[in-house]
Structure 1
Amino acid sequence: MIDSVELQRNNTLGLFLNNSYYSAASYAVNSGILTLYTYYLVNYFETGTNEYVHNLLSFANNEINSFGVKINNPFILNHINDLESVNIAVDRYFEARELYNAAVDYYNESNIPDALYNLAFMYVRLETSNTWLDLKDSFNDNLSIEFSQDLLKDLALSRIETAGDMITYAESVESSYYTDNAWDLLGISEEAYNGGNYIYSIFESLRSLANANLAMQLRGVTEEVVDERIELSDKLARENINLVQSNGLIPIIAISYYEYSQTFKESDPATALLFLEYSKQFALLSSQMVNSMGLGDLTFGMASQKEVGVQLLALLLGVVLGIGLVFSLLLRSLL
């Protein structure tokens, strides 16, 4: 595992130097998860008791609740790209909560390895959420807008309805893994909506819609047609990203998904298509949110994609790779 962590860290730096900032961030996160998981396993096998895991869960619960207070407060946006940063931070926080709940379930089932893995994943997700919040303060413009999730309630409901209609249509043609996954994601979205967590609801609705679209795209296609679908989806994703950027916004999430899709084009075309679908759906999210908040007439100061990427990676490398280095050294001393 240690060698795998070091390999991922080297891959991260290689992607960063190649200007693939968001893919590099994904590799950095994966490195952090694997490192922390290995650290937990070593400590668990050394102690030989479940009390160690129980204490980890108790501490994690406090961390989740404490960060929840921070993430649920209104935010002041002084640059429109702050909106994407806050969106991702909120989404990552709720993912961390789901991972914590999964860890508790695995612990109660005496499945300690999976409990520890989900705990490691949870902590890194929580750190990335905090990193996105820090990134919010990196942009400067002349805005001063108080932002709360309540402003997005109508948009969240609209996205739920759109996703539900698309899944129903896709399933009427042919049920598949992707339609089943779409229903699961829509259920999470509806639960988040009912709890007032509108950003998380929107994210899960868009992922649900992407899965439904993919179910339609992959229905009865040959390998040659899949390649054509990838080429078309790639083109549409880039067009959506360029359209949004021409209006002064940087669709950080969409660019992230787009870059990540490129790593799967040869090895896993279906996964490449899925992330391209995510990119297409999320590209327009910020502009839709801006309009939903009644800010459509504003003009925005530009921040370059490279500027955003460098700031993000500087933060992630400091948080995640720093964790990886420390724990790698610690693990070598233990093994």
Structure 2
Amino acid sequence: MKKILAALLITFLLNSAFAVVIKAPAVSLTDYGYVGVPVNIQINVTKGDGHVFMDTLPLTELDMQGSARIASKVAGEITGKDMGNYNVYITVRSDVPVVGGPSAGATMTIGIICELMNWSLNKDVMMTGTINPDGSVGPVGGILEKIEAAKKANCTVMLIPKGQRFVNEGDNNIDAVEFGEKLGVKVIEVGSIYEAIPHFTDKKIVIKDYPENYIVEERYKTIMKQLNDNVTKLANKKYENLSKELENSYFGYEYQKMLLSELESSKSLLEEANQEYMDGKYYSATCSAFNALIKLETIEHTLKYLKGEEDVKSYLFEVQNEINDDKKTVYSKNLTLDNFEEILAGRVRISEAEELLDNAWKSYYLGKYDEAIKYGSFAKLRGESAVWWVSLYNDNDGKIINESKLKPLAQQYLDNAETISTYVETLFPGLVANSFENDLDNAKKAYEDGDYLLAIAKSLDTCVKAEIPLVMFGDIDYLKKYSRNKINLAESLGVTPISALGYYEYAESLDDNISKIMYYKYSSYYAQMDIDVMKELNKSNKIEITEVEIVPNENEKGKEIVNAKEDNNVGVITSALIAGLVGFVGGYFARART
């Protein structure tokens, strides 16, 4: 028992000696209202198996634990460390109970980065902000109280999330920068961890600038042109046939009005597709033409239903058989290094077709026949589009992939999706999360079925949909640049990141900010997936991928040298004390054995 206690004592002292200690601002509820208080966060990183442990006193809310896991993930990505090989221990101490916890996410990320890289911290800086999986810093509450907490901790610089400089207090709009100046605290807005790092250390972490690969870009355009030509040709032909048919038919005022409106809408989409094609936006053009095709397919089978040429149930059985055939075609294709993007797109679309068909049958049994035809038409075309995608590339070319090699990566993506979705549900308990929860269930099922590529894609869908509440008011320019950098990196590995480029192009064509953000997120996630797949399948070749560069931060260098020296002096003293304790304990047990 004494040996165990001694070992625990030594471990504790060693961890404390080599830990990073960083202060974070928090808000405490008192009899006089909310006040800002500083919180001490101690961070240790050791070799391990990817766990994040948290010890808080007083107890904090669950959202802080979720923040810690996201912080560890982001720190690993920024530093290039595989966090599956480390354990992170976070100890939070406060003299008073604090309200909430996600606002320490960005601070914990900084602390983990400094612990991983063995960097000293500038003790004059404090930060507040949630952490998002892409490294951006999210909004928090209690900005003014947290600036006061920085003052109490003798900090001269306070970093706050970008866009939160002005705080509404009743009828007043308070400038946080001016508020800080009165307290002797310089308040600075930051949008990402990359912007925050130079304030805490004598280093800058810069995202490495990979240039666009024009050969890959041209390959992408060729593929998308081919796909667009197929879709547009089908849609134009169907539009011509249905226009003639509707001219010579009449099914009552309401139906006629509805059908003509849908026909006109499809015409507008085809015109839009043509313009997008002329502008070189081939993915956007394909999407517009495909949406037109869905409307036209719906009109065609609604007409057959109204004429008595086809009953809805027979149509849905026909669609079901077609999807089954499409699925066989998609899954018969060999998975290779050159076509895994196209195969993934095909499998995702088959999965979507099956879900749409389920909705069609539900509508049918509820007696909503128009809706059943609409879902059925969408399902049919989604299944056909799966075949289009997998037919874009000859599966006889390229090195065949043993899909079981993707199992560890699928597990990693599944774990990541669960972490992010749980985190978001904790932050926004009233959020309707049925959409991404359904994707998560599908990801788990695909994993259990050994369909690891589909499991990765469905996990990715979960992450994107879950993250929208976190980044919906975020910095679009940051997300755009982040996505483009990921695409360029994927291209540098020889991958043609079709999905990432397509989503990026589509985001560029949109006016709605939330939709733009969502598709930039899809773009960056799919590009990262390409990178991860290449790394996973080329482990034996030890592909070196450098996403960031570490450069000196000249502005903070002088101040940081002082802090580093202070830390080193403490470290020397602590090490001496530990050495003495280790010697004492070792000697005691040596005597006990003899």
TM-score for the superposition, normalised by structure 1: 0.77
| Greater mean alpha carbon deviation, residues 254-263 or residues 171-180 | 171-180
Structure (1 or 2) with the greater strand fraction? 2
> Which residue pairs with 1:321 in the alignment?
none
> Which residue pairs with 2:520 in the alignment?
276
| CA deviations over 1:192-216 (Å, ceiling 9, x no partner) | 2223332222111111111222222
Relative distance call for 1:246 and 1:146 in structure 2 (3 A) is closer
> Which residue pairs with 1:62 in the alignment?
321
> Which residue pairs with 2:266 in the alignment?
5
> Which residue pairs with 2:455 in the alignment?
201
| Matches for 1:141-152 after TM superposition, within 5 Å | 144-147=398-401, 149-152=403-406
> Which residue pairs with 1:242 in the alignment?
488
Structure with the bigger RCO (C-alpha within 8 Å, sep 6+) is 1
| CA deviations over 1:117-139 (Å, ceiling 9, x no partner) | 111111211221111111112x9
Q: Check if 1:230 corresponds to 2:476.
A: yes
Relative distance call for 1:76 and 1:52 in structure 2 (3 A) is same
Contact 2:489 2:531 in 1 (8 A): no
| CA deviations over 1:234-274 (Å, ceiling 9, x no partner) | 1111111111112211211111111112233x3x2112111
| Matches for 1:76-225 after TM superposition, within 5 Å | 77=336, 80-137=337-394, 144-147=398-401, 149-175=403-429, 177=431, 179-218=433-472
- Determine helix, strand or coil for the equivalent of 1:136: coil
Relative distance call for 1:185 and 1:177 in structure 2 (3 A) is farther
Contact 1:290 1:296 in 2 (8 A): no
How many residues were matched structurally? 282
Q: Check if 1:53 corresponds to 2:312.
A: yes
**Residue 76 of structure 1: CA displacement?**
5.4
| Greater mean alpha carbon deviation, residues 95-104 or residues 283-292 | 283-292
Structure 1: gaps spanning 5 or more residues: 219-225, 300-335
**Residue 47 of structure 1: CA displacement?**
1.2
Q: Distance in 2 between matches of 1:184 and 1:273?
A: 21
Q: Distance in 2 between matches of 1:23 and 1:269?
A: 17
Q: Distance in 1 between matches of 2:307 and 2:539?
A: 56
Contact 1:85 1:135 in 2 (8 A): yes
Q: Distance in 1 between matches of 2:518 and 2:537?
A: 29
* Structure exhibiting the larger radius of gyration computed from Cα positions: 2
Q: Distance in 2 between matches of 1:277 and 1:102?
A: 27
**Residue 103 of structure 1: CA displacement?**
1.1
Q: Distance in 2 between matches of 1:235 and 1:84?
A: 22
Contact 1:176 1:215 in 2 (8 A): no
- Determine helix, strand or coil for the equivalent of 1:75: coil
Aligned residue among 28, 32, 38 for 2:289: 28
- Determine helix, strand or coil for the equivalent of 1:8: helix
Q: Distance in 2 between matches of 1:281 and 1:173?
A: 22
Paired residue type of 2:364: Y
Q: Distance in 2 between matches of 1:54 and 1:172?
A: 43
Paired residue type of 2:524: K
Paired residue type of 1:57: L
Relative distance call for 1:194 and 1:30 in structure 2 (3 A) is same
| CA deviations over 1:67-96 (Å, ceiling 9, x no partner) | 22222235053xx44121111111111111
Q: Check if 1:43 corresponds to 2:304.
A: yes
- Determine helix, strand or coil for the equivalent of 2:400: strand
- Determine helix, strand or coil for the equivalent of 2:392: helix
Structure 2: gaps spanning 5 or more residues: 1-261, 544-594
Contact 1:5 1:34 in 2 (8 A): yes
Paired residue type of 2:400: E
Aligned residue among 492, 501, 504 for 1:255: 501
> Which residue pairs with 2:276 in the alignment?
15
CA RMSD of aligned residues (A): 2.4
> Which residue pairs with 1:287 in the alignment?
531
Relative distance call for 1:25 and 1:234 in structure 2 (3 A) is same
> Which residue pairs with 1:75 in the alignment?
334
**Residue 159 of structure 1: CA displacement?**
0.7
Q: Distance in 2 between matches of 1:296 and 1:212?
A: 34
Paired residue type of 2:300: Y
TM-score for the superposition, normalised by structure 2: 0.45
Q: Distance in 1 between matches of 2:535 and 2:506?
A: 28
Percent of counterpart pairs with the same letter?
A: 24
